């Protein structure tokens, strides 16, 4: 999911690729691609014989070709914190992506609507959230089924089923080191050594990826959003519980 540590993970895999023979692909540059074009690109990459790691923010899609199936991993983040970070990221960027095409497009649209100077608190207070923003986590793991665009129990149920059946790991951004340790254990061929690389270099990695101009979310806005985003929080809490149980099983300490 966007703003949940996936770009940091991609950066770490790229660093490991300096000593490992890993084929990594990034599908985040195709801003003008249609959904069908993006799916076609990802399907082609996944079914290539030498692909080791694919970075994408696309909602869940089951890719299976014969007995060939990718190992799905993801990371979630507190839904309100993620949304606020995304809001400021697409407006101001960071030291890596502040010139991205997607960011420029969003900032132009904000200026046309005459509220590009609003803080996240002001925006939420005056305008509220769209249904898509308030259920982004559920929709991401639910996928592209028609029920996934609706804020209902069936979308949540589908998301949980996908997490349980299709993902080898859904980690927690707030427990990033443990997430990396779990990846080392579950997929050692790809992630062996990733935790130490992160610990050695996280100041530099996180520094250049820190979203600019973020302000503190007010208690009022947090309470308001917590109610509007209750389905996302239900799924987030479920993933945290599942991850903590996995940590215990794998003997991962904080």
Q: What percent of the chain has pLDDT over 90?
A: 45
Does residue 240 belong to any structural domain of this protein? yes
pLDDT band at residue 208, thresholds of 50, 70 and 90? low
State residue 243's pLDDT score: 98
pLDDT, one tens digit per residue, over 94-153 is: 555 555 565 566 556 656 655 557 888 988 888 887 766 889 999 999 999 989 987 688
Region 83-94: what's the mean pLDDT? Answer: 78
pLDDT, one tens digit per residue, over 164-202 is: 999 999 999 999 999 999 999 999 999 999 999 999 988
Does residue 1 belong to any structural domain of this protein? no
Query: Which of the two residues, 105 and 13, has the higher pLDDT score?
Result: 13
Alpha-carbon distance values, 248 to 67, 77, 146, 217, 243 (Å): 31, 20, 36, 33, 9
Is the separation of the CB atoms in 172 and 53 below 8 Å? no
Does residue 96 belong to any structural domain of this protein? yes
Domain extent at residue 25: 6-250
Q: Is the pTM of the predicted complex or chain greater than 0.85?
A: yes
Rounded CA-CA distance 230/234 in Å is 6
Question: Domain with 24 in it: what CATH number?
Answer: 3.40.50.300
Domain count, the chain: 1
Does residue 180 belong to any structural domain of this protein? yes
């Amino acid at each position: 999911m966007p703003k949940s540590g996936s770009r940091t993970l991609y950066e770490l895999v790229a660093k490991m690729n300096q000593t490992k023979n890993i084929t990594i692909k990034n599908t985040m540059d195709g801003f003008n691609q249609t959904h069908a074009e993006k799916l076609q690109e990802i399907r082609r990459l996944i079914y290539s014989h030498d692909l080791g790691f694919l970075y994408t923010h696309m909602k869940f899609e089951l890719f299976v070709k014969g007995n060939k199936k990718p190992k799905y991993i993801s990371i979630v983040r507190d839904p309100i914190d993620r949304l606020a970070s995304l809001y400021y990221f697409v407006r101001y960027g960071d030291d890596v992506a502040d010139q991205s095409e997607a960011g420029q497009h969003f900032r132009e649209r904000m200026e046309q609507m005459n509220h590009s100077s609003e803080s996240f608190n002001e925006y939420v207070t005056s305008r509220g959230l769209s249904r898509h923003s308030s259920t982004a986590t559920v929709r991401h793991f639910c996928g592209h089924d028609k029920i996934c665009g609706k804020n209902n129990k069936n979308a949540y149920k589908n998301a949980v089923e996908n997490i349980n059946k299709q993902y080898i790991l859904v980690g927690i951004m707030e427990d990033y080191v443990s997430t990396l340790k779990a990846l080392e254990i579950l997929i050692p061929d790809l992630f062996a050594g990733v935790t130490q690389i992160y610990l050695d270099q996280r100041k530099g990695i996180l520094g250049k990826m820190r979203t600019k101009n973020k302000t503190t979310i007010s208690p009022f806005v947090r309470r308001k959003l917590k109610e509007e985003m209750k389905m996302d929080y239900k799924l987030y809490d479920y993933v945290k519980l599942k991850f903590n149980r996995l940590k215990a099983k794998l003997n991962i300490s904080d």
